[in-house]
Structure 1
Amino acid sequence: MSQKLLVTGATGQFGKLVLDALLESGKTKPADIIATSRDTAKLAGYAAQGVETRAADFDDPASLERAFTGAGRILIISTDVLDQPGKRLKQHLTAVEAAKKASVNHILYTSMPAPEASVIPFATDHLGTEEAIKATGVPYTILRNAWYMENLLLSLPRALATGRWFSSAGNGRISHISRRDLAAAAASALQSGSTESRTYTLTGAQAYTTDEIAALVTKATGKALDVVHISDEALAGGLKGAGVPDFFIPILVSFDANTREGHFDVVTDNAIAMTGRNPTELASFLETNKAALTH
């Protein structure tokens, strides 16, 4: 039975971190790691370390089956196509079918917390993928990753520049976790050799309201940040006025709505159990990244 570990989307930010975690652990020989991407030239640095690289395109079923053949445990990292409804799920289902045809031993997948209850438009992509994986009969590990701490670096600099953070999240709580901690958990799951089918929700150690996050940001940066609580409709209008693409506005608003309705208010110790270490604290992350927050 093959013990080769395969990572899709290996040129992406998350995929690279998973590869780094696998290599740094010393538990898996580089030759037993397969990194896939549409453009393998971008994986030259990993190839130089002994990692096998293979071409794989989520829009090309044959390329996926070729790439997956001979792999034992594969990590399907969810794609980032959000501007074409239905395409992301189609890509994921293509990858799942290719994994089954390639006779892999175990399928791992990066999902999101509580997709069955979420109001986020792309939650159905994750739920549909989870269901397809379960239907293959292949043992699986579903990694329901909470929101990246790094996502805060996309919105907070603009808010800090004005001192006001417009939000419709109300008093809802969200437990962020760093991308690096999630990648370490994914690498651990890949290397575990487990034959059981399990679903894990991976979160940070604490869930915070928007006001509490703002207070942590102020402490880390020394800059005042007041949360302005508004409706979903007002938030959508503000995003449109800021020039956010129309297709992305409902998605961004749904993040706050999902938080307000409690679907992100979950804290587990799964990340600790899988990595053997405590996840990065939000306060520590903000302090480390205060330059990016105030640029």
Structure 2
Amino acid sequence: MILVTGATGNLGQNVVQHLQQHLALNEFAVLARSQSKAQHYLNQGIKVIYGDFDQPETLKHAFQGIDKLLLTSTMEQNRFEQHKNVIDAAKYAGVKHVLYTGLAIRNIQTSAVEDLMISHFQTENYLKNSGLTYTFLRNTMYAEAIPQIIGEQAVSNGLALAGGVGKVPYATRAELGEATANAIMQDGHENKIYSLVGSHAYSYQDIADLLSEISDQKVNYQNLDDSSYMDLLQSIGLPDFLVFLTHGTVCDIQQHQYEVSSTDLEMLLGRKTQSLKDYLTTAYTSNS
């Protein structure tokens, strides 16, 4: 039996969708702390098991009879404590294999968002030291993050960021969800570390050039200095946490932190990843 955590989130929904295409309904289940959020799974005949990352006793019960567990990373401030609860409960319940969705980055110790993202690697270390069979699925930045960072009106307004010439090997959530589902269903991924990154890497200048091609109008990229970019983020009224996260992420791009090269995602998909031009065409023509 396979159990998927985070199934009501964006990545988790893509994982479940792919499992549905290949497995019988009695071969997998989803974990949820709210029946209302998981009601659409119940309506499809998918088993929903109650469990709360902040209540370890619920997890010990939820994980009984589970062979493979997908631990989809959370975005909570106490992320490592939540993940630790999951791993401890998995060991207690006799789960055979835990797969964890982490982060593909070159050096977390020099990341501008180390305080937030270090918990991914703390989780990996804790899982590795637990004695459980593991698979680490280190995800690149979602292509879906591009409109959130450059704005949905980037074609008309242009790009203004402090990204320098740094590049990112973007992949879509659908691709990462499919690859994750394949890793769960297949054998041979035990105690492996995979960097799930796109087939090609793109800078913000590349993105501006692609948007120019798509829209048939010139889209400019203005490479701001760090201080000007921080002022811009604050001027548009973002909450402090989003200012920190967006600024830090773009700084990491500038410092080439996301320039991880790997064919692991291609291996799990059995093909190259979608071109960024195709993704941007869908994302920006649908908004026009």
The answer on whether the counterparts of 2:135 and 2:189 sit within 8 Å (CA) in structure 1 is: no
Which of 163, 172, 179 in structure 1 is aligned with 2:157? 163
Residue 256 of structure 1 aligns with which residue? Answer: 250
Matched residue, 2:93: 102
Aligned to 2:268: 274
1:20 alignment partner, one of 9, 17, 31: 17
Aligned partner of residue 38 in structure 2, secondary structure: helix
Cα 1:69–1:141 shift into 2, 3 Å: same
Asked whether the equivalents of residues 145 and 182 of structure 1 are also in contact (C-alpha less than 8 Å), the reply is yes
Mapping 1:177-192, distance limit 5 Å: 177-192=171-186
Once residues 48 and 217 of structure 2 are traced to their aligned partners in structure 1, the CA distance between those partners, rounded to angstroms, is: 45
| Deviation sequence 1:115-167 (CA, Å, 0-9, x none) | 63433232211111111111111111101000000111223334526523121
- Structure 2 CA distance for partners of 1:213 and 1:69, relative to 1, 3 Å: same
Q: Do 2:155 and 2:211's aligned partners in 1 also have CA atoms closer than 8 Å?
A: no
> Which region of structure 1 is more displaced relative to structure 2, 139-148 or 93-102?
93-102
Aligned to 2:104: 113
* Percent of matched pairs sharing the same residue: 28
Q: Measure the CA separation in 2 of the matches of 1:35 and 1:291.
A: 34
- Could you tell me which residue of structure 2 aligns to residue 50 of structure 1? 45
The answer as to whether partners of 2:205 and 2:221 remain within 8 angstroms in 1 is yes
Q: Quick one: distance in 1 between partners of 2:9 and 2:152?
A: 25
Q: Give ranges in structure 1 of 5+ residues lacking alignment.
A: none
The corresponding residue for 2:63 is 68
1:95 positional shift: 1.4
Q: Secondary structure at the match of 2:138?
A: strand
CA distance in 1, matches of 2:242, 2:42: 36
1:8 aligns with 2:5: yes
Amino acid at match of 1:245: P
In 2: Cα distance, 1:95 partner to 1:232 partner: 38
Q: Structure 2 CA distance, aligned partners of 1:68 and 1:158?
A: 41
Tell me, which stretches of 5 or more residues in structure 2 are unaligned? none
**Greater CA drift, 238-247 or 38-47:** 38-47
Give the letter aligned to residue 104 of structure 1. V
Q: Please give the root-mean-square deviation of Cα atoms over the aligned residues, in Å.
A: 1.8
Partner Cα distance (1:169, 1:157) in 2: 14
Q: Give the aligned length.
A: 285
* Offset of residue 42 of structure 1: 2.9
TM-score (norm 2): 0.93
TM normalised by structure 1 equals 0.91
Counterpart secondary structure, 1:289: helix
